[in-house]
Structure 1
């Protein structure tokens, strides 16, 4: 799919129930971690961190922290040193962040206050990452996220856990519903509301299917990302853009940029 449609996602709507939004993000976090969707891009991220001599990441638009714990472990393994990551979001999922902080013995930290990805506070330096969220933004705002990293001379990595292929829509429509029903009791931290909105009033699976479909249509292809960086006044930046293959046969779209 080379085209891009910016339809509405439920979790972006201010009126959408927060408890359902959190449940959907928890499902995404569990699935991303279970299949290791972001493992193929860790070498690109490690290279960017090594180039900048950083071991501190600032994760933007963290949602429920989908896959970040696995990325952190793989980074430490590949870099041979400790790495800390600060989770941030416009709507912080504090319960999920506290759980991840506890699981990582504090290596995964979080900012309780709302953080705008287009204007990250200067007191939060570090290599920036955006996992599974860049597609939420229209081109002007998405470009502004990249421009803010350039303006503050910070590295940035953008990663989407799909390759924008037609067969991925079939997975969302016919496989995701069954997976959600199977995994929900095992998602931690446990909440009764997640069970209620999965099995009794199935807003979480229905919302996940809708948003998953829209997300694929919204994804920026590597060609879109290349056009974005070409509009930035950043001749001193090195950019790596493309698709990394996952063991499942899908691809992960990535962009990694840092000052040369």
Structure 2
């Protein structure tokens, strides 16, 4: 699917109720982590960390941290036993992040204040990663995220847990609501509000289905990711890699990675 539509997602709207946004983020974290969606990109991150000699990941637009713990554990078990991850977001999710912080004995930490991915404070080190969020940004802002990484000579990896296919749109529309209704009682940390807005006032399922379908339509295919990278790095300071990594289920993960050449 080469078509890209810049539609809106509820979770992006400033007025959207935080309690509903948090419930949606918790569901996505549970699903992405449970299915280990981002395990195929572990070798890509391993290569990037070796090139940049980093021992820390700085996650931008982290949401509830879906998939981050699994990636961290896989990298720790390989060549990076001291690896740490700092979670940040424009809309921080400290409750969800604290849960991950405790589960990982401090391996995953977080910044409770808002962080703009287009203007990352120079005081935040690490190889930058964006999981399941780059599609939220229109081209000018998506390019600005890459420009900021190039300007600060900070390596960056952009990863999207889908391959941008029409069948993924159908699955998001038909399977996601059933899965959400079935697994909600098992999501931790437990929130009464999550049950309320899933079963009694079903805002979480309705908005998650819409956002899930729109997310796929908003994904940047590999050629557009590379074009954004080249505009952000017109003098060729970075080494860029782009493509699709295959998940065990047959699905794909879109990726763009880049780091300073020297």
Q: Please tell me whether the aligned partners of residues 150 and 234 of structure 1 are also in contact (alpha carbons under 8 angstroms).
A: no
Please give the alpha-carbon distance, in whole angstroms, between the structure 2 residues aligned to 1:205 and 1:178: 9
Deviation at 1:125, TM superposition (A): 1.2
Deviation at 1:234, TM superposition (A): 4.4
Please give the alpha-carbon distance, in whole angstroms, between the structure 1 residues aligned to 2:65 and 2:26: 8
Please give the alpha-carbon distance, in whole angstroms, between the structure 2 residues aligned to 1:77 and 1:62: 22
1:111 matched residue in structure 2: 111
2:50 matched residue in structure 1: 50
2:237 matched residue in structure 1: 236
1:191 matched residue in structure 2: 191
Please give the alpha-carbon distance, in whole angstroms, between the structure 2 residues aligned to 1:152 and 1:133: 21
Give SS of 1:122's match.
Answer: coil
Give the 3 Å change call, closer, same or farther, for CA 177–3 of structure 1 in structure 2.
same
Query: Cα deviations across residues 176-214 of structure 1 (Å, max 9, x unaligned)?
Result: 111101111110000000011111111111111000011
* Structure 2 length-normalised TM: 0.98
Deviation at 1:174, TM superposition (A): 1.1
1:255 matched residue in structure 2: 256
Give SS of 2:57's match.
Answer: strand
Please give the alpha-carbon distance, in whole angstroms, between the structure 2 residues aligned to 1:46 and 1:191: 35
1:19 matched residue in structure 2: 19
Q: Please tell me whether the aligned partners of residues 198 and 205 of structure 2 are also in contact (alpha carbons under 8 angstroms).
A: yes
Give SS of 2:78's match.
Answer: helix
Give SS of 2:223's match.
Answer: helix
Give SS of 2:25's match.
Answer: helix
Give SS of 1:241's match.
Answer: strand
Give SS of 1:82's match.
Answer: coil
1:137 matched residue in structure 2: 137
* Structure 1 length-normalised TM: 0.98
Give the 3 Å change call, closer, same or farther, for CA 98–234 of structure 1 in structure 2.
farther
1:82 matched residue in structure 2: 82
CA RMSD of superposed structures (Å): 0.8
Deviation at 1:81, TM superposition (A): 2.1
Give SS of 2:253's match.
Answer: strand
Deviation at 1:233, TM superposition (A): 2.7
Query: Cα deviations across residues 74-99 of structure 1 (Å, max 9, x unaligned)?
Result: 11112242210000000100101111
Please give the alpha-carbon distance, in whole angstroms, between the structure 1 residues aligned to 2:121 and 2:166: 38
1:39 matched residue in structure 2: 39
Q: Runs of 5+ in structure 2 lacking a partner?
A: none
Give SS of 1:44's match.
Answer: helix
2:212 matched residue in structure 1: 212
Asked whether 1:162 is paired with 2:162, we answer yes
Give SS of 2:256's match.
Answer: strand
